[in-house]
Structure 1
């Protein structure tokens, strides 16, 4: 009886034009000083020993320039579609999930995905790309007591879909991937299982990435990144005050403005009419805040390339500044199918899709791809902790930089030179 039911279900699946693959990406990022970081680190998965295979950093460097190019391409897509909206996403998360998709793709489908991720396939071999992501994941998930950064991939697969053994082995080895067998015939149950998994991996910060699940979905890929860190020099809570943020010429909103007088690495880019301030976290991660002059934000966005980033890196100089930064909580949710189709990645989302590297059969396509990201910025720490890290300052009035109009921000892992998160704050009060 059971065998007969199983057979008819399979034939029903085979009759479908294309089963749908739902690709779901998300990220969560925050740093609330609620409980001790060490407790959380003890609770996370134990680290696997790193295999000794070549130099991980060298392997990473082969993919980081393309990842950076992709980050700017994606940023432009988002800002063109929603020019006056807050932006926040994790380029490294999106790149990793789509590289994993490429691992299961074949032919044109594969080539389009990798080219969409800004890889030049004449210069870079596919093997080098996957090897680069493998080492990038190892280095980003480094067990550093100062920063909590966990990134990984989970595949939820209908229990009647039989993945190829080589694919399973590769996603585990290269992408820290985990495969979960789910009952997609019961879409409510499957949706709950996926949402619960994401909620758990992002420590309760993103709980409803999937609003609905197509009845013919058979496979969901989830990439998550969770980041929590503390400023190297916290802002003193006593200094936080009400102030105005000028969204545009007509609109101002009231914000809680943090302030700190201290030494920062800064650079004034005359050519691009903007100020760059680097604020370090504890550990090897920094936030770059970029304040364009009035009316110059579009000019800056159009000019952004990886060469400009390296110019800024080289030009930053440590000087005393009084920095004003709004406390904020912003999020972004993006339809990646639309974004990637604009970047020329069309096959995997349509009937010519060849994802036979996953199941051995070319009858699967991607029906949906979603990315959700969340950012919270605040003083990071108790009043006592904030007071202990005051810089020794001479008695003079320092120059002031006030982030009280739209600005850009990037969070960069300095060890691998990877942009973990990228955003634009147009209105810090917009939910």
Structure 2
């Protein structure tokens, strides 16, 4: 019998999931919620996993396991969706209103639904219902290198699946779109990059939110949880070995305030100070302390980013009304130009909400 954590670590496919829940149901042979409610407190994680199973599966009279109707609806609709973008929406709408809009359309029950999941179950849920309809090859959320994956059509393509720490080094091709998968309480599980442009945002709304009320609540909740928290579609970014950061950033509008020396905007413990050098602000990004990252902006001007620049870019973004900061917790944040919708990678924050 495969445990849920083994499924997540070793890769996931339909047979793995069905094997896990078939064995679970056949072994217990009683209502899973009843078992879950009787679990001791030290079995909290197992209890949550059973809650998930009871929501998604039921036992047929012949003893076999089947998906509930609501889950079949989810699978049917997600099978038609590969990727989704914000090409037809303004940046300000996405930043300020998209999560709120998604929550409203799903009656604000998304978190209520997701609170029943532990992390392992959340990963399994996303893998099963979001990818399995069109990925034949199972994958692990810990994969951090580009590998060959097989589509249901039989075509093999190179697709990177990775966590946030390793994402940007693979953003070499504009045929990929980055999607951040969020689960309980807005916590980021991992980033993925998926091929082909897919549907725009209007198509997503029409497909998933224009319901006649006949579907079960769980369908709306699940769709909302998947669609209401995703990252912006990134422009093409390429690594370049280019210096003179300040001069190049001045060329596209960065003022003196971007390069100020007092970096303590939100308190010195907001970011990790590991890797800080003498004379640098106390707020520093350890990921950029040893290695300088070089990217190409949407206007084809290469510039270099260090952990010191990350701090100052936040400062500049707050002072300059034409830009905002999008924190994709807990890994990367971006500066988005409101006029051109250009998106600039600024760095990786290690613990953006810590105020200890």
Alignment TM-score, normalising by the size of structure 1 = 0.20
- Structure with the largest fraction of strand: 1
Alignment TM-score, normalising by the size of structure 2 = 0.23
- Structure with the largest fraction of helix: 2
